[in-house]
Amino acid sequence: MKGHIRERSPGHWAIILDQHDPATGKRRRKWHSFKGTKREAQVECSRLITAMSGGTYLEPNKLTVAAFFATWLKHIKSQVSPKTFERYSGIVNQNIIPLLGAVVLNKLKPIQITDAYAKALLEGRRDGKEGGLSPRTVGHMHRVLKQGLSQAVRWESLNRNPADAVDPPKVEWKPVSTYDLPQSVDVIEAMRGKPIFIPVLLAILCGLRRGEICALRWRSVDLAGGQMSVVESLEQTKDGLRFKSPKSGKGRTVALSETVIAELRSYRAQRAQEALRLGKGLSDDDLVLAHPDGSQITPIYISQQWARAIGKTTLAHLRFHDLRHAHATHMLANGVHPKVASERLGHSKVGITLDLYSHVIPGMQADAAATVDAALKAAAQNRNGSNPVAELPPRTKAE
């Protein structure tokens, strides 16, 4: 393995690497352009020779970050859901390419990524408004960039992932906003008699997501047994609607309270009467939530109806998804085990539940401390016989 440098013009060098093709025995040359001093060119030549000998050499090419991510999006499309692909495409085309797209892929350095994040935070908006992106959005950008560049390493377009050496901006933790128990009662009563009532009930008392509510069919609702099966979710994309598995990738069974059972019985009877007026019966294959003519209701329609209805009240104007948060916090605050709450909400791991609703944990810890303290006092009382003062024995000097 040999190499030498040749000056093309002042400060510009050609690095020529000579190697033998093992298949033909002929000499092959690799040319690299370099800008700098003669000494720096010699160091770079030595580095390339070492890389070629060690198997970490990359062929010189001018593939840009923009061109690579266009290929990567085609590759990832078949591996994620359409909704996830839409998010990836938006982040790549609106955030990554405008900031890093012109950079040659194998020349991309961590410092360039860091500078891109800083610029995104200051002036990264692409919706025609001034200002930058939030740290959370830049964090999403970092995850997509890191995932794409990891694929570049596997495809041997890069030796290492430069995003591994970059930390995304810190996202300030904020507890989820939701309704407490009295407010939840007010929400339910305020929505009674409105088209949004059943979706609100299923979210605030069962913890269902919008898409899960839209995909729920009567065959999955066992009013006699007091439970429902959440096996599908309705996803809305630019290409239309599609039914898919729930977010965790698997179905779950949700127990129904007496309140939910009674309201669903009444609602089913109402839906059956509407169907009869249209000259057809209500079957188990019909969607629980539908327009009077039986047509499908979309997740965005639920959000629109909720925003319109809650806007006419004096209650906090939160998102529809925050009703699901209300169900979670009510469970945890009232002593439901986090594992049970996680399964009811359809989280893939109990850690997700604990991370999202950690603001409820302090109250749970206080209850746990009081429970342990009471148990210790009871044990001390039992050991001391009929001693009415349930206290732990004082520590001795020996102790």
Cα(366)–Cα(336) distance, integer angstroms:
15
Average pLDDT, the chain: 86
| Per-position b or e across 149-169, b if 16+ CB within 10 A of its CB | bebbeeeebbeebbbeebebb
Q: Where does CATH 1.10.150.130 sit in the chain?
A: 65-165
Query: Tens of pLDDT along 337-347?
Result: 888 888 998 88
For residue 27, the model assigns a pLDDT of 74
pLDDT of residue 174: 77
Q: Which has the higher per-residue pLDDT, 11 or 357?
A: 11
Edge-to-edge strands, sheet with 12-20: 2-9, 12-20, 27-35
Give me 157's structure tokens.
């377009």
- pLDDT band of 397, cuts 50, 70, 90: very low
Q: What is the pLDDT of residue 22?
A: 64
Assess whether pLDDT exceeds 50 at residue 278.
Answer: yes
Identify the three-state secondary structure at position 64. strand
Q: Which of 50-54, 90-94, 301-305, 346-350 has the lowest mean pLDDT?
A: 50-54
Q: Which of 278, 259, 277, 268 is nearest to 217 (CA)?
A: 268
How far apart CA 98 and CA 217 sit, in angstroms, is: 44
Section 196-202 average pLDDT? 96
- Residue 365 pLDDT > 80: no
Is the pLDDT assigned to residue 389 strictly greater than 50? Answer: no
Q: Rounded CA gap, 26 and 108, in Å?
A: 33
Domain 181-342 CATH assignment equals 3.90.850.10: no
Higher pLDDT, 360 or 309: 309
pLDDT, tens only, 65-106: 999 999 999 999 999 988 899 999 999 999 999 999 999 998
Between CA 163 and CA 112 the distance in angstroms is: 10
What pLDDT score does 399 carry?
45
In this prediction, residue 394 has a pLDDT band, given cuts at 50, 70 and 90, of low
Per-range mean pLDDT, top range of 39-43, 108-112, 335-339: 108-112
pLDDT above 80: residue 53? no
- The phi, psi pair for 312, rounded to 5°, reads -90, 5
Least confident of 51-60, 126-135, 164-173, 269-278: 51-60
Contact assessment for residue 261 and residue 220, using Cβ atoms and an 8 Å cutoff: no
Q: What percent of the chain has pLDDT over 70?
A: 89
CATH 1.10.443.10 residue ranges for the chain = 181-342
Is pTM beyond 0.75? Reply is no
The answer to whether residue 259 scores a pLDDT higher than 50 is yes
pLDDT at 361: 59
Q: Domain 65-165 is in which class?
A: mainly alpha
Kindly state the percentage of the chain with pLDDT values over 90: 48
Q: What distance in Å separates the CA atoms of residue 6 and residue 15, rounded to the nearest whole number?
A: 7
Residues in the chain: 399
